[in-house]
Amino acid sequence: MDKHEIFKKRLILARNKRGFSQSELAERSGLKPAAISHFETGNRKPSFDNLRLLSDSLNVTADFLLGRTNDPEGFAESDIAFRHGYEKLSSEQRDMALNFIDMLSNKK
């Protein structure tokens, strides 16, 4: 599937998962309903700013909408954790945090 197909399918998937109509997503994002329709049909591609508005409004990452990850929500939470914690850690603490995350992800 090409990247334009992925975007429009992911946008529809994320909108439906949140239970938003195109009009509701437009209202939440500050975009026009026609723009949402054009993005979902593939007639238009969003600008960087519009991509950010859409991902924030849908609580998914831009990477999910672009098909770079299959996890619509997990990375959004880790981004928040990164912004509010990881950047404040020392180099040694960052290594410990990454080792801990690795241990948790490998735990069955």
Per DSSP, 72 falls in state T
Q: Which DSSP state fits 68? A: S
Please write down the HEC assignment for all residues of 6-47: HHHHHHHHHHHHHCCCHHHHHHHHCCCHHHHHHHHHCCCCCC
- Examine the pLDDT at 76 and tell me if it is beyond 50: no
Buried b (16+ CB within 10 A) or exposed e, 31-42: beeebbebbbee
What is the three-class DSSP state of 98?
Answer: helix
The least confident of 16-20, 35-39, 56-60, 92-96 is 92-96
Which CATH class name applies to 3-65?
A: mainly alpha
Domain boundaries, the chain: 3-65, 74-106
In terms of pTM, does the model score above 0.85?
Answer: no
Q: What is the pLDDT of residue 25?
A: 97
pLDDT in tens, 4-42: 799 999 999 999 999 999 999 999 999 999 999 999 999
Token pair of 1 as six digits: 């599937």
- Among residues 79, 80, 67, 64, the alpha carbon closest in space to that of 18 is found at 64
